């Protein structure tokens, strides 16, 4: 992506933001503004808190956004959130997620790090990461994003922050809803759901099926999911909601290719790596809310999940058998102190434990019968105790403070069958704390300026500690030197907690025709947990064998600008022309100055998305969109890059006036651009480095839905 493009994108956003700033800021109706698509900036607290009470960067993807387009994967659902880089690895459901440079080097088929994932406020992230198999965007009423440390009240202190998936309930659903999509490369997605309120009881049940033969050869995938919840109001002040989810998923792995292979034939696949099979993930949870009085509320929740994974490759097969339990105890209170100053206080305890029996076992499939290579039994916990307060210093100025204590444990018990190996154990405990201070100021009733300073903390994932025994340190990463291209010995590593100081300033608000959020953040990070991948020497490139490993880095810096702007350009008699834009500039680099300074690989410096939509009063709509991604290095030496790209799309559809049914046809990458959707981070790029995964080609999708 050229600097001219970056300047043009910045100028467009700045120009529209200036127009929004001088537009008239009328008083907004508070009840209407509590919806997820509105911004409320007032000195008075809301009885139903919104993300706008957070002095920092946040975003909401609403039902309207999720239902207006084809949602083939999580990347589609999380579009237009600046600073959030979500890319489907090969067009399927495996999605790489990063916010503000978090999880650099993590793949789309691995349990992610750097982002805390929630189900209606209940923690889904565990000491071994974020299993993604159960995520079903088509069953969500909204998706909340808290960037960086702005998810403090949820116990998230990572670089990335929080993604909170909020399911539909009987209160916002139809007794029967059906939706079907189909399109290029064998893509199919069907959904049948039902939700109702029956006296004090309500329910929501959604069945979802996905299937695709894949754009790339040997990249097929399918999944089935059940998403359900059942609520009951014992009294107006006491209610509970039970959640049950089930998912099974199979996705073929493909080989990454060299840059020359990609440029010669982007659709070719040099050998199949194998299958990632999820035979059945279970999520069972419950959250009970008790309104103690008009000033205080108690929330108590518990969640259990079991996400087994069978991961196969030509040279090895791994079996993950893991399970965990997490909890939530949160007390919230509203007071009026010191003669009229409003004060909102939250105290919470958030535990998460890996259950006994969690294990990874690996087998060499090149031998007959398969040779047992070793296993790791996992244990560990995350325990967080936090307190925060939001205090009205004046009628326009609010001060947010918080403090959290963390007790984090990681356990590995390794069994090596090889004579040269030992059976090392790891039992490591981290104790630390994180404070937070923030300010938000109501410039007008609908425009808010904010700033915050926080400490960031993240412990290594449990799986990060087990590495190859035969490795040599070369600075901030290790380079495996395994002589046997098949068998290697597992050993425990000593990893530190990643920590840092984050600061952020910004402004968000809305007028009659504009809604915007612009911020600048800077994160000074020590011991950042970086993951890279090395292909072992002396093996057939069609049958690669490699090692993914994690290391603490020397000091790094994550800084950037995030900007979003929704504008109503024209409106008349029920018809309107709207433009929404999202721009992010992110500079992630090693703090060392001088000619040796390197940029962190795997993430673009600039991204831009825009969509122009015409909605006619009859229900007909037409839209055109563009997504542009800057080039970026693929290795820590910054020797190789992934090429920049720009994709154009369009859609046309019709929504029945009562919104009972809709139909649409959508095109993505209409120019048929060959682009790289994902790169495997490596230590030093060479022309023979097979680290590039091509993205999908031209795609046409048609869909229809009906709410009975």
Report the SS3 class of residue 613.
strand
Please determine, for residue 558, whether its predicted confidence score (pLDDT) is greater than 50. Answer: yes
Contact between 656 and 662 (Cβ < 8 Å): yes
Please determine, for residue 413, whether its predicted confidence score (pLDDT) is greater than 90. Answer: no
What is the torsion angle, in degrees rounded to the nearest 10, for the CA atoms of residue 64, residue 67, residue 72 and residue 73?
Answer: 30
Helices vs. strands in the chain: H and E counts, helices first:
5, 42
Residue ranges and CATH numbers for the domains of the chain are 3-707 (2.40.170.20)
Average pLDDT of span 407-418: 83
Most confident segment among 249-258, 492-501, 572-581:
572-581
CA distance 231 to 34: 22
DSSP 397-462: EEEEEEEEEEEEEEEEEEE--STT----EEEEEEEEEEEEEEEEEEEETTEEEEEEEEEEEEPPPG
pLDDT digits (tens, 9 = 90+) for 321-369: 989 999 999 999 999 999 889 999 999 999 999 998 888 888 877 777 8
The confidence band for 273, taking pLDDT boundaries of 50, 70 and 90, is low
Query: Model pTM?
Result: 0.88
Structure tokens at 682: 């490596």
Average pLDDT of span 595-607: 88
DSSP 247-301: EEEEEEEE--B-HHHHHH-TT--SSEEEEEEEEEEEEEEEEEEEE-SSSEEEEEE
pLDDT digits (tens, 9 = 90+) for 175-188: 999 999 999 999 99
What is the torsion angle, in degrees rounded to the nearest 10, for the CA atoms of residue 63, residue 69, residue 70 and residue 74?
Answer: -50
CA distance 528 to 104: 10
The confidence band for 204, taking pLDDT boundaries of 50, 70 and 90, is very high
Structure tokens at 686: 């060479």
């Amino acid at each position: 992506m050229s600097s001219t493009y970056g300047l043009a994108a910045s100028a467009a956003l700045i120009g529209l933001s200036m127009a929004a700033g001088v537009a008239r800021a009328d008083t907004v109706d508070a009840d209407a503004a509590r919806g997820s698509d509105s911004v409320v900036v007032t000195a008075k607290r809301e009885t139903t808190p919104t993300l706008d009470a957070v002095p920092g960067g946040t975003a909401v993807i609403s039902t309207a956004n999720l239902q207006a387009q084809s949602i083939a994967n999580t990347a589609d659902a999380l579009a237009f959130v600046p600073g959030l880089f979500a890319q489907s690895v090969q067009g399927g459901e495996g999605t790489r997620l990063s916010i503000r440079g978090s999880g650099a080097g993590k793949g789309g088929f691995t349990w992610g790090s750097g982002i805390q994932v929630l189900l209606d406020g209940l923690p889904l992230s565990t000491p071994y990461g974020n299993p993604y198999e159960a995520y079903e965007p088509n069953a969500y009423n909204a998706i909340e994003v808290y960037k960086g440390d702005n998810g403090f009240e949820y116990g998230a202190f990572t670089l990335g922050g929080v993604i909170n998936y909020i399911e539909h309930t009987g209160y916002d659903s139809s007794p029967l809803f059906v939706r079907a999509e189909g399109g290029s490369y064998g893509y199919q997605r069907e959904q049948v759901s039902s939700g109702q309120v029956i006296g004090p009881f309500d329910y929501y049940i959604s069945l979802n099926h996905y299937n695709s033969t894949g754009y790339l050869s040997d990249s097929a995938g399918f999944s089935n999911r059940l998403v359900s919840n059942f609520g009951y109001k014992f009294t107006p002040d006491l209610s509970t909601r039970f959640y049950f989810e089930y998912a099974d998923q199979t996705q073929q792995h493909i080989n990454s290719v060299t840059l020359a292979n990609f440029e010669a034939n982007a659709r070719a696949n040099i050998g199949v790596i194998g299958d990632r099979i999820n035979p059945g993930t279970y999520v069972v949870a419950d959250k009970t809310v008790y309104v103690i009085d008009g000033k205080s509320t108690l929330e108590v929740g518990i969640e259990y999940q079991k996400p087994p994974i069978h991961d196969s490759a030509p040279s090895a097969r791994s079996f993950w058998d893991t399970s965990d339990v997490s909890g939530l105890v949160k007390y919230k209170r509203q007071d009026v102190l010191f003669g009229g100053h409003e004060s909102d206080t939250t105290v919470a305890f958030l535990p998460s434990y890996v259950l006994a029996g969690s294990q990874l076992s690996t087998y060499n499939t090149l031998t007959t019968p398969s040779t047992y290579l070793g296993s790791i039994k996992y244990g560990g916990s995350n325990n967080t105790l936090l307190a925060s307060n939001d205090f009205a210093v004046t009628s326009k100025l609010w001060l947010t403070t918080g403090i959290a204590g963390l007790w984090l444990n990681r356990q590995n018990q390794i069994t090596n069958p090889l004579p040269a190996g030992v059976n090392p154990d790891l039992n490591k405990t981290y104790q630390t704390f994180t404070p937070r201070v923030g300010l938000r100021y109501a410039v007008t009733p609908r425009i808010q300026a904010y700033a915050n300073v926080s400490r960031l903390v993240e412990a290594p994932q449990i799986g990060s500690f087990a590495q190859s025994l035969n490795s040599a340190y070369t600075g901030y990463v290790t380079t495996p030197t395994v002589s046997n291209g098949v068998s290697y010995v597992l050993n425990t590593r000593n990893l530190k907690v990643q920590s840092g100081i984050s600061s952020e300033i910004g402004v968000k608000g809305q007028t009659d025709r504009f809604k915007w959020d612009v911020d600048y953040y800077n994160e000074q990070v020590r011991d950042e947990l970086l993951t890279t991948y090395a292909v072992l020497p002396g093996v057939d490139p069609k049958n690669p064998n490699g090692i993914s490993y994690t290391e603490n880095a020397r000091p790094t810096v994550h800084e950037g600008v995030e900007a979003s702007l929704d504008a109503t350009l024209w409106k008349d008699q029920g018809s309107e022309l709207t433009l929404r834009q999202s721009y992010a500039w992110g500079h992630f680099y090693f703090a060392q100055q001088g000619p040796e300074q390197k940029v962190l690989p795997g993430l673009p410096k600039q991204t831009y998305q825009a969509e122009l939509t015409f909605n006619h009063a009859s229900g007909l709509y037409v839209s055109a969109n563009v997504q542009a991604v800057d080039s970026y290095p693929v290795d820590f030496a910054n020797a190789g890059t992934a090429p920049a790209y720009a994709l154009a799309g369009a859609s046309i559809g019709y929504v029945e006036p009562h919104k009972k049914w809709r139909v649409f046809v959508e095109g993505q990458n209409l120019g048929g651009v060959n682009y790289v959707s994902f790169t495997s981070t490596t230590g030093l790029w060479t022309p023979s480095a097979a680290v590039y995964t091509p993205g999908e080609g031209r795609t046409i999708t048609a869909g229809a839905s009906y709410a009975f």
